[in-house]
Amino acid sequence: MKNNSLLNTDIKEIEKFLGADNINNLSGKTILLCGAGGFLGRYFVELVAHLNSSKDRSPITLIAVDNFITEPTATHLSDTPNNITFHKMDIINGIHFDFDIDYIIHAAGIASPFYYAKYPMETMEVATIGTKNLLELAVAKNVEGFMFFSSSEIYGDPDPKEVPTDEAYRGNVSCLGPRACYDESKRLGETMARVYHTHYGVPTKIVRPFNVYGPGMNQNDYRVVPDFINRTLSDKPLKIYKPGTQTRTFCYATDSINGFIRVLLKGVPGEPYNIGNDSPEITIQDLADTLESVAGHPIAKSFVEHPDVYPGDEPIRRCPNIKKANIHVGYHPQVSLKEGLTRSLNWASENYEFKEKR
């Protein structure tokens, strides 16, 4: 049985990227983490477990919440160390705790296009009703910080003049397209985070992640990096959705977690921050070629139309301008794409399950 732990070296890398000051600001605090069973949530869980193993600081108390809608087989929270408790809960149904809470991290969501096409109602509700429930809790607990995970998808398909895209760009989003349940509900979630700041003084911070990837992504996640890696390890051709010239930049998990925590602690309340990598901006075809060079052997590729289960209407270009996060919170990504893909591929080869011998 595989334990699916993340890379210990990655958790230590996040600690290094954050630095002692940021970590000290978290020590002794109580954090409510929603979406703890997901890809990014588990980095927070393992980071806190690692930080709590030090005798030099007061431990962080972490309340980890998830409903496991997209992670029904997740096992990594079943055996949690001291000061971390797990609650299976759906934040759409309301949330209440008797104890004090210092920070709320709202990373619950349905992030993979495959799953938001499958669960459009739940996708809209977690980003809107779920967000409102957590913001109400933030008011009641008078929290020091609240972080809403929005998405680069709120920009939709940006005007090429707006790429790299900064936070002031208003977006080019369809309210009726196949991605609308995700994009539009994240947009409303951001509005709520802003209003709860201006009306109730909640120190809300908004992060807009741009294609974060790394170890810990579910084998059946269907986002492009784990999908390509899963196919590479299964000796299946990579399916590149046409035209294949759509561009993205990819951000390794350790860089992104550093950015998220910096925004939580130092971001300006009510403000959004792009968290991603501003280079290289590459086509999906280039991503397949880079993975091939990392794997060290030829990989078959086929160009296909979007299947019915995967929403089309993809942005043609996606690349963040990250100057705001750099200037406000000192964020700068450091892990190269080749290095991140190497770590991801190696982790998946140890942790993904394959019926047939590779």
Ligand X SMILES: NC(=O)c1ccc[n+]([C@@H]2O[C@H](COP(=O)([O-])OP(=O)(O)OC[C@H]3O[C@@H](n4cnc5c(N)ncnc54)[C@H](O)[C@@H]3O)[C@@H](O)[C@H]2O)c1
Binding residues for ligand X (CB under 6 A):
34-35, 37-41, 65-71, 90-92, 107-112, 126, 130, 149, 151-152, 209, 211-212
Say which residue the tokens 């990250």 belong to: 322
Q: Say which DSSP state 102 is in.
A: S
Q: Is 182 a catalytic residue?
A: yes
248, 284 Cβ separation under 8 angstroms? yes
Nearer to ligand X, 59 or 315 (CB): 315
88, 37 Cβ separation under 8 angstroms? no
Nearest approach, Cβ of 183 to ligand X (angstroms)? 10
Catalytic one among 43, 182, 222, 273? Answer: 182
Nearer to ligand X, 130 or 203 (CB): 130
Q: How far apart are CA 248 and CA 22, in angstroms?
A: 30
Nearest approach, Cβ of 288 to ligand X (angstroms)? 18
What end-to-end distance do the CA atoms of the chain give, in Å?
A: 18
Q: Between 129-141 and 180-200, two packed helices, what is the crossing angle to 10 degrees?
A: 20
112, 151 Cβ separation under 8 angstroms? no
Phi-psi region of 4 (alpha: psi -120 to 50; beta: other; left: phi over 0): left
Phi and psi dihedrals of 110, rounded to 5?
-120, 95
Strand 212-213 relative to strand 251-252, pairing: parallel
Nearer to ligand X, 57 or 68 (CB): 68
Nearer to ligand X, 206 or 240 (CB): 206
Q: How far apart are CA 29 and CA 27, in angstroms?
A: 5
In a 13 Å sphere around the CA of 175, the CA atoms on its Cβ side amount to: 2
Nearest approach, Cβ of 37 to ligand X (angstroms)? 4
Nearer to ligand X, 206 or 294 (CB): 206
Nearer to ligand X, 59 or 146 (CB): 146
Nearest approach, Cβ of 54 to ligand X (angstroms)? 25
The three-point CA angle 226-228-233 to 5° equals 90
Nearest approach, Cβ of 132 to ligand X (angstroms)? 12
Nearest approach, Cβ of 64 to ligand X (angstroms)? 10
What is the token pair recorded at 111?
């992030």
- Residue sitting closest to ligand X (CB): 38
Strand partners, 105: 33, 147
Percent of the chain as helix, strand, coil, to the nearest 5: 40, 15, 45
Q: Report the catalytic residues.
A: 182
